[in-house]
Amino acid sequence: MSSKEDPIAMAAEAFLALVQKGPLSGEVVPLHSSLHRVLAVDVNATIDDPPYSRSIMEGYVVLTSDASAASPERPVNLEIAGEIPVGSGEAGALKSGKALGVTTGSYIPEGDYSVVKGWEVKKNENRIQLTQPLSRHENIEIGGGERKKGSLLLPKGRRIGASDLFLLASQAVLQITVARRPKVAIFSSGNEVIPPTAPFKVGSIWDCNSYGLAGLVQEAGGAPFSKGIVRDDFDLFLKKIKEAMEEADMILISGGTAIGGKDFTVELVNAAGPPGAVVKGVPMRSGKPIVLGVAGVKPIVCVAGHPPEAARGFTLFGKAAVGRLLGESEESKERGPASK
């Protein structure tokens, strides 16, 4: 089914087209606090990667010109002139006929060198014998081969995953600028809804949506705050929404609101400010209470009161709105939860 035939995709597209593209602003956080945050700016490499040429095998570094013609019929004999221990950043130029012992990670100086694996040579005291030819830079990871200093490391809009922490730390990037978390005001509505702190009574239900939706908002990257339970009173509800909009970047309402059996959710969203409601129900299971709109630049998402459907409604529409406010890129979203 194409997006033009999918009512959920069509509703999301119409709604998100009116939601401002973030980030709303940026803030600097330490790397250890950046997991799952969204980058507000590009991050560039601070050094070459790898930072220097190094051996990827344990063995011996030799001149390629010495090793290129080696064969079982015409072995090449070289003198071991020393070694380059891991951690050393110095090595003199290697002369023809000589070899230096190396281990995985040993620094390799610039030049026409190759590394032969230790188990592929015959060793006799301080001499080795090569019986196979080597190509230039064989078994050597060249400095800057992965990326150059100043090149793009991670793009703006990327949600930081654990693998990114390895990369950033390897470049000594210990502070990054991330998108501010959008503040999401959460309302539970309905005359039958009571707080879980109140004694239970028949005909009422304890409010669980404000807690569950707050968790989903946090998972999406937002900063939730509860505005409590609002009775089915149009004027009171509108007043509370406008008050919340003074500090919130987004409004999230669970439960249909009705007076005398007539749902006034659409009218409520329209009254909050233009352009108002752009989606007035979605042809899906429990989709009638789904109302999506924007007041000024602030999205308003209204979902069903039944907890599983409230969660589904937010996952389908609210999560995308939070991601847009964060400025999360489409590529980052496609990486999926496993990349987070």
CATH number of 91's domain: 2.170.190.11
Cα–Cα dist 320/328, whole Å: 9
Q: Does 19 lie in the same domain as 79?
A: no
* φ, ψ (nearest 5 deg) of residue 39: -65, 135
Question: What's the pLDDT score for residue 337?
Answer: 47
Would residue 146 count as lying in a domain?
A: no
Task: Name the pTM for this structure.
Answer: 0.84
Q: Does 191 lie in the same domain as 157?
A: no
| Domain housing 66 | 54-141
Question: What's the pLDDT score for residue 203?
Answer: 87
Would residue 251 count as lying in a domain?
A: yes
Helix (H, G, I), strand (E, B) or coil at 89: coil
Question: What's the pLDDT score for residue 340?
Answer: 40
Q: Does 107 lie in the same domain as 72?
A: yes
Would residue 147 count as lying in a domain?
A: no
Q: Does 204 lie in the same domain as 315?
A: yes
Q: Does 164 lie in the same domain as 15?
A: no
Would residue 93 count as lying in a domain?
A: yes
Q: Does 320 lie in the same domain as 298?
A: yes
Q: Does 39 lie in the same domain as 115?
A: no
Question: What's the pLDDT score for residue 89?
Answer: 82
- 133: its two tokens: 């030819």
Question: What's the pLDDT score for residue 194?
Answer: 87
Would residue 158 count as lying in a domain?
A: yes
- Residues above pLDDT 90, as percent of the chain: 80
Q: Does 14 lie in the same domain as 35?
A: no
Q: Does 197 lie in the same domain as 118?
A: no
Q: Does 15 lie in the same domain as 32?
A: no
Instruction: Count how many domains the chain has.
Output: 3
Q: Does 160 lie in the same domain as 107?
A: no
- pLDDT (tens place) for every residue of the chain, 340 residues total: 455 678 999 999 999 999 999 999 999 999 999 999 999 999 999 999 999 999 999 999 999 999 998 999 999 999 999 999 998 887 878 899 999 999 999 999 999 999 999 999 999 989 999 999 999 999 999 999 999 999 999 999 999 999 999 999 999 999 999 999 999 999 999 888 888 999 999 989 899 999 999 999 999 999 999 999 998 889 999 999 999 999 999 999 998 765 555 678 899 999 999 999 999 988 877 767 899 999 999 999 999 999 999 999 999 999 999 999 999 998 877 665 444 4
Specify whether the CB–CB gap between 260 and 287 falls below 8 A.
Answer: no
Q: Does 169 lie in the same domain as 194?
A: no
Would residue 41 count as lying in a domain?
A: yes
What is the secondary structure of 124-191 as a DSSP string? ETTEEEE-S---TTTTEE-TTSSB-TTSEEE-TTPBP-HHHHHHHHHTT--EEEEEPPPEEEEEEE-T
Question: What's the pLDDT score for residue 23?
Answer: 96
Specify whether the CB–CB gap between 211 and 217 falls below 8 A.
Answer: no
Residue 266 sits in a domain of what CATH number? 3.40.980.10
